A = this chain, B = another copy of it.
Amino acid sequence: MNDFFSELVKGLEPYVPGEQPKNKKYIKLNTNENPYPPSPEVIKAIREAANEDLRLYPDPECEDLRKTVSDCYGMKHKQIFVGNGSDEVLAFSFGAFFAGKKIFFPDITYSFYPVYAGLFNVAYEEIPLNKDFEIDAADYFKADGGIIIPNPNAPTSKYLDTNKIEEILKSNSKNVVIIDEAYIDFGGNTCISLLNQYANLLVIHTLSKARSLAGLRVGFAFGSEELISGLDRIKNSFNSYTLDRVALAGAVAALKDDSYFQETKKKIIQTRERTIQALKALNFIVMDSKSNFIFISHKKLEAEFIFKKLRDRGILIRFFNKPRINNFMRVTIGTDREMQVFIKALEKII
C-alpha cells in the first residue's frame, strides 16, 4: 500500500455498500430504501430552503431540527444529537464511547460495526445469534465492554422485545449500550422510553427508511445529556457543520408530517405480510420480520443461484457471502406491484 498512508488507513477494511445502479432499469430491493416518495411537505420545504441564505453556514447546533425531534418523541432537545445519516452518528458513537475499549455485537449484524471499530481502535467480540438467528439477551449480561445491537437486527429482520433490552441495560450499567433502531418503525416498539431510567442507553434513528429520505442523509441519537455531549465533542472535533441547510429543512418537514409517515409505514407492513405468504407458498423459509425487508432462504434452491437469476431479470436483492447466512437473501419490501413482479420472477426461476 501507498507509502504516504498512515498505519490507521492501511489497517482499515472499508464497508461496501449495496449497489446503487446509475440507471433505473432495475427493481431495487437491495438497500432497504422506502418504495414511496418522501412526504410532499419535505419536497416543499427543500424547495423553499433553496434560497440565497445558502451563502451562509447552517446552524452548527441544528436547534430547529433538534427541537422538532424532541417535540416528536417527548424528550429534551439536549438529549438529541443529529448527524449526516445514522452512519455518521454511529461512527461518532464508536469514537465517543468505545475508542481504545471493547465492544460486543452479534456475529450476524450490520457489517459497518467492525469497520467503525477499525477506525477508532476498538476491540470487538462477535456474539453468535442462537440457532433461530435470534439475539439471546443473556449472552450480553455483564459484558466486559460496550454493546451495540440493531433492533430489529439486520439482515435477519428479527425484533427483540423491550423487556429483553431492559435486562441487557440493567446488567451493563457501567457500559454504553447502543440500540440501533434504523428499522424500528415497521412494527417494533422503540426503547426511547427507557432513556429516563438508564443512563447507559443510546438509541439511534434514521430518516432513511420509514421517512423515505435515504437521499437526504439525516440520523439522530437519543440519550442522556451527558452522552449527547460526548457525541458533540467528537463532532466538533471533526466537522462543525455536518448537516446542510437543505437537509435540515427537509428533516424538520418530514418529522412534522406524521399522517404521511403512518400511512406509508402501514402500506409497507401490509405488503410485507402479503409477500411473506406468497413466499411461503413457494417453499421459502421466511424469518419473522418487523422491518421493511425480509430474510429468506429456499428449501431446495441455493440463495446465490436465485440472487443471480433475479438479477438477470432486472431485480436486485442482497446476498451476503458470509458464514451461516450464505444460503439466505435479504429482500427489501417495495410497492405491491414490485413485489408481484418479484414473486412472478421467483415462480419462473423455481
Please determine whether A56 and B35 come into contact, CB atoms closer than 8 angstroms.
Answer: no
A236, B15: Cα distance in complex, Å:
6
A47, B105: Cα distance in complex, Å:
41
Residue among A53, A55, A230, A236 with most chain B CB within 10 A: A55
Please determine whether B43 and A55 come into contact, CB atoms closer than 8 angstroms.
Answer: no
Which residues of A20-45 have CB atoms within 8 Å of chain B's CB atoms?
20, 22, 28, 31, 33-38, 42-43
A232, B9: Cα distance in complex, Å:
10
Which residues of A87-144 have CB atoms within 8 Å of chain B's CB atoms?
87-88, 91, 95-101, 115-116, 118-120
Please determine whether B230 and A5 come into contact, CB atoms closer than 8 angstroms.
Answer: yes
Please determine whether B96 and A9 come into contact, CB atoms closer than 8 angstroms.
Answer: yes
Please determine whether A52 and B31 come into contact, CB atoms closer than 8 angstroms.
Answer: no
CB of A192 closer than 8 Å to a CB of B: no
- The 0/1 profile, CB within 8 Å of B marked 1, for residues 229-270 of chain A is 110111111111111111100100000000000000000000
Please determine whether A37 and B8 come into contact, CB atoms closer than 8 angstroms.
Answer: no
Q: Which residues of B contact A240 (CB under 8 A)?
A: 15, 17, 87
In the assembled complex, the CB of A186 is this many whole angstroms from the nearest CB of chain B, namely 15
A17, B61: Cα distance in complex, Å:
11
Please determine whether B230 and A4 come into contact, CB atoms closer than 8 angstroms.
Answer: yes
Please determine whether A38 and B9 come into contact, CB atoms closer than 8 angstroms.
Answer: no
Q: Bin the interface of chain A by size.
A: 35 or more
CB of A50 closer than 8 Å to a CB of B: yes
Q: Which of B2, B216, B234 contacts A119 (CB 8 A)?
A: B234
Q: Which residues of B contact A88 (CB under 8 A)?
A: 238-239, 242
Please determine whether B99 and A4 come into contact, CB atoms closer than 8 angstroms.
Answer: no
Q: Which residues of B contact A227 (CB under 8 A)?
A: 2, 4
9-residue interface stretch from A207-215, A280-288, A294-302: A207-215
Residue among A16, A31, A215, A227 with most chain B CB within 10 A: A215
| 10 A-B pairs with the lowest CB-CB distances in the bound complex, closest first | A37-B52, A14-B236, A8-B99, A46-B50, A6-B99, A215-B245, A54-B215, A55-B212, A17-B240, A217-B244
